Amino acid sequence: MGAFLTLSTSAVVILLVICRGFCVDIIGGAEVAPHSRPFMALIQGKQGNVICGGALIKANWVLTAAHCNVEGAKVILGAHSQKAREREKQFFQIAKRISYQYYCPYSKENDIMLLQLQRRAKINKAVNVIALPTSDDDLKPGTICSVAGWGQTHNQPKTLSDTLREVNVTVISRQICNDNKHYKNQPVITDNMICAGAKNGGKDSCNGDSGGPLICKNMMRGITAFGKKNKCGTVDGPGIYTRLTKQYLHWIRKTIGGA
């Protein structure tokens, strides 16, 4: 996994340069029913390549990861297929991008960003907001969560999914994630992060899934952030997600206000 960017054939080199070893698609999951995740946002580059995912939290605001390079990108809501024409799709230019002020690309801390859309989305069955959590209580190891995206489905070949896919992942303790069999404190998995995967591997987010929501007990609790380069779904490289802590939730609500 890694800093979850685009993986079109022409973008593989770009991905390797930008991710610097840390990027996130869905490994071991399954295609969801079309438009059954109405909060999912697809962030697409000028060439139609998948850059990242995101979550609609207000009619004109999308929550995603700070490492996503959204320069010149557009946001698509109501998508199931990233390529097919779908009447449910709504297209938006990005009016403003606001990264958390203390985001650090080296430590991977504070990997969270807000995108203000140029206009408000039309809310319907295919496009709707996801509620933010009312509590930032830490998730216990063993908690089952789900993550969705249009990202890579295999380490080799590096092919993105055309349709939205989802997989269940299990929360793993930070102590285990930081040990010598996993991340070795490089980077340190902090209290601002959630580590989640599968005991025997095979279930994970991957390149292209960055910015998508981690949902636990029917509530968004995190944002897909990073993993190990070319090791999506491996035992030693479970996915890492930005945890929606009290400080982040306060920042989000203060930023989006009544806009």
Q: Mean pLDDT for the chain?
A: 87
> Which of 67, 39, 69 has its CA nearest to residue 54?
39
- The predicted pLDDT at position 1 comes to 45
The CA R_g of the chain, rounded to the nearest whole Å, is: 16
Euclidean distance between CA atoms 243 and 174, whole angstroms: 12
Task: List active site positions.
Answer: 67, 111, 210
Are 115 and 259 in contact by the 8 Å Cβ rule? The answer is no
Convert the pLDDT of each residue in 146-181 to its tens digit.
999 998 887 666 678 899 999 999 999 999 999 999
Tokens encoding 148 = 């969705």
Are 190 and 214 in contact by the 8 Å Cβ rule? The answer is no
Q: How many CB atoms lie within 10 A of CB 256?
A: 17
Q: Is the peptide bond before 157 cis (omega within 30 degrees of 0)?
A: yes
- The predicted pLDDT at position 13 comes to 32
The helix/strand/coil state of 51 is strand
- The predicted pLDDT at position 199 comes to 84
- The predicted pLDDT at position 44 comes to 95
The residue extents of the domains of the chain are 1-259
DSSP class of residue 36? S
Q: Does domain 1-259 have CATH number 2.40.10.10?
A: yes
Low-confidence ranges of the chain (pLDDT < 70): 1-28, 155-158, 258-259
Question: pTM of the entire structure?
Answer: 0.87
Euclidean distance between CA atoms 131 and 170, whole angstroms: 21
The helix/strand/coil state of 234 is coil
